[in-house]
Amino acid sequence: MAKKLQYVCTACAASSPKWAGQCDACGAWNSIVEEKPLSEGSSSKSIGSKRGGQVELTDLSTNEAPPPRTISGMDELDRVLGGGLVPSSAILVGGDPGIGKSTVLLQAAAQFASQGLKTIYISGEEASAQVRMRAQRLGLKDAPVKLGAETNLRDILTTLEAEKPQLAIIDSIQTMWVDTVDSAPGSVSQVRAAAHELTSFAKRKGVSVILVGHVTKDGQIAGPRVVEHMVDTVLYFEGERGHQFRILRAVKNRFGPADEIGVFEMTGAGLQEVKNPSALFLSERGEPSPGSVVFSGIEGTRPVLVEFQALVAPSPHSQPRRTVVGWDSSRLAMILAVLEARVGIPFAGLDVYLNVAGGIKVTEPAADLAVAAALLSAREDAALPKDTVVFGEISLSGALRSVSQTENRLKEAQKLGFSTAIMPKGDKAPSTAGLTAKRYDDLTAFVGDIFGAG
């Protein structure tokens, strides 16, 4: 059957079954053209020629005030969210099993509920009685939070629509089951469909939705990557099993800075906020020892001081070991190559171990100079003064490059009692009272002055 042609006037959008030189509706000449379908192909495989309704459009400029954020009272959580919970937002929280995702979200639910938000907590992994046991252990048994245990997404959405909450927590997205998708819960198609339905529900109904996501052995959130694109905010809960510190890191945030962190300490009464993480990370640091260097870093908008620990020892194996915890192993290999090629200090035949104390992960390149200082301190068996902090980026030529937010790094170091900062010469931050800045152009000058070698 031949496709029936349709003609439309470009001046007034009136349709006509045939072409004409003049539009009968508005009288415009040579304005009628053949109407093309929305997409090519049959309607069963594409959108086809059927027209839909028009989308409501508004101007970019508006006098409307942005929706108010809700402050939970947990300063570290509010900081990571960008200043509080935004209405109609979709938030994805991922982390290793047992790291404390359900614990911190139950505490957050109780805090938001105490601020007046109607909150519903839906668990797909535990029974309601088990969630109550955790709440009792955390001292939250009187919090005005509604609990539910269900995995059928249709039932969950029906309940949320009837209850009209302002915040819904879904624990977890991998356990949700969409009855229109023929696959097992946790599969790629199920996770994608469930995330799409919950995110759309959040936008349509004005409900803030927090989704818990499982992670793979590589640390990525399980399921399709498109889930992270759907939601407004992606948070990762990090931490080492042997340490009590937990880091809540924002890797995506449409309403605030990305790479912001919140620091918590795992205790018997749940997760407690750490107001001054720098002091806590350095609390167990003793007298100066070879291989120990304090790095003044920036995580999001806050300065954080952490300790790099290095150990260099003769290797009994033909292939020396390079072991890194809390930093990028490929960047360590680059620093070792620069030290050998540009400064003439070899590490061949030596095992190298590098650790960031406290279980925190450092990602910024400003830690290059601190790592190089720790490696040289361990190799030469010469400790740096206890009151010294180090930061700076190293280029492949051996030059030291300036880093961002130098003034904030120096102020944090001075606040914690440090009196000397080793930094690149290109950093032109004003001097901080009571703190001496040692500036160097390249790695050779730094090594020659501090260690007398190279």
- Flag whether 102 is marked binding: yes
Instruction: Tell me which residue has tokens 């819904």.
Output: 168
300 is in an annotated binding site: no
| Residue from 440, 392, 432 nearest 416 by CA | 432
Q: Which two tokens stand for residue 177?
A: 């089951």
Q: Is 156 left (phi over 0), alpha (psi -120 to 50) or beta?
A: alpha
Q: How far apart are CA 241 and CA 216, in angstroms?
A: 17
Segment (H or E) for 439:
strand 436-440
To the question of whether residue 100 is assigned a binding role by annotation, the answer is yes
Which is it for the CA torsion 338, 342, 343, 346, positive or negative?
Answer: positive
**Token pair of 55, please?**
């989308």
The identity of residue 199, as a single letter, is T
Is 97 labelled as part of a ligand binding site? yes
Is residue 101 part of an annotated ligand binding site? yes
Alpha-carbon span 269 to 214, nearest angstrom: 24
Token output for 271:
């997760």
Amino acid at 368: D
Q: Round to whole Å and give the CA distance between 117 and 208.
A: 10
Binding-site residue positions for ATP: 95-102
Binding-site residue positions: 95-102
